[in-house]
């Protein structure tokens, strides 16, 4: 009896596919969304409040010296990822921070979303970020970084800076300044700088020496 050729072909094809399947194993290189690992917080805190303090001098065991509050962070929710190799904490529902200088004058910053990187003590603020100093100066931008170690604040995004002292409003892109705002540098400025009419009129009325 002659064995049909097509049956022999089907058997060979089946064996080939099986060998190919088992030889490949799970060596498929995942990319994009498939490559993402699921990361879950080690803890979640609601109505979170964190107070940063600073001692006026070195505190010994029996000392009665009190520490000074330098900032207070509040948020509806904090997610704790400090169990990871590069630890951080997120504030998915926004946050509000109060800063106090050496004279206890308060400045505030708020944002729709925030991340604190524990290893570097860098704060990344995103979405409708507003920084307002005790004297009324205000910076508005979409993202702002607070470097607490170097007491430095910066953004690479577009911003609006309002200074009520001289009545000016400045638009630009990218800004660096120190925490006490003794140094302020804007990378790029554009748009109009508004000057109060009173100053313009005063300049026009200034007598000119003959």
Domains: count for the chain: 1
Catalogue the long-range contacts made by 62-69 (C-beta closer than 8 Å, 24 or more residues apart): 68/100, 69/100
E strands along 6-151, which residues? 43-55, 67-80, 88-91, 95-100, 106-111, 113-117, 122-132, 138-147
Under 8 Å between Cβ of 96 and 129: no
pTM, two decimal places: 0.69
CATH number at residue 79: 2.60.450.10
For 70-96, write each residue's pLDDT tens digit: 889 999 999 999 988 899 999 999 999
- 31 in a domain, yes or no? no
Q: Is 65 exposed, middle or buried (0-12, 13-18, 19+ CB in 10 A)?
A: exposed
125 or 54: which leads in pLDDT:
125
192 or 45: which leads in pLDDT:
45
Reply yes or no on whether the pLDDT at 16 is more than 60: no
- 184 in a domain, yes or no? yes
Q: How does 172-202 read in b/e, with b if 16+ C-beta sit within 10 Å?
A: bebbebebeeeeeeeeeeeeeeeeeeeeeee
CB atoms within 10 A of CB 115: 17
Which residue range(s) make up the domain with 80? 37-56+67-203
For 121-168, write each residue's pLDDT tens digit: 899 999 999 999 888 999 999 999 999 888 889 999 999 999 888 888
- 21 in a domain, yes or no? no
């Amino acid at each position: 009896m002659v064995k049909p050729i097509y049956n022999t072909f089907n058997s060979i094809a089946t064996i080939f596919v099986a060998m190919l399947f088992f030889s490949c194993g799970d060596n498929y290189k995942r990319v994009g969304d498939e490559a993402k690992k699921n990361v879950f917080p080690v803890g979640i805190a609601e109505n979170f409040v964190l107070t940063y303090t600073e001692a006026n001098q070195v505190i010994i065991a029996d000392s009665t010296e009190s520490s000074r509050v330098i900032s207070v962070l509040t948020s509806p929710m904090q997610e704790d990822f400090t169990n990871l190799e590069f630890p951080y904490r997120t504030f998915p529902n926004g946050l509000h921070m109060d800063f106090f200088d050496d004279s206890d004058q308060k400045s505030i910053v708020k944002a729709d979303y925030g991340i604190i990187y524990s290893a570097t003590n860098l704060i990344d603020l995103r979405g409708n970020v507003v920084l307002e100093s005790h004297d009324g100066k205000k910076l508005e931008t979409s993202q702002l970084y607070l470097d607490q170690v170097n007491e430095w604040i910066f953004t690479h995004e577009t911003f609006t800076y309002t200074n009520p002292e001289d009545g000016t409003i400045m638009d630009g892109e990218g800004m660096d300044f120190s925490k006490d705002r003794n140094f302020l540098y804007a990378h790029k400025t554009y748009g109009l700088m508004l000057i109060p009419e009173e100053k313009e009129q005063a300049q026009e009325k200034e007598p000119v020496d003959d």
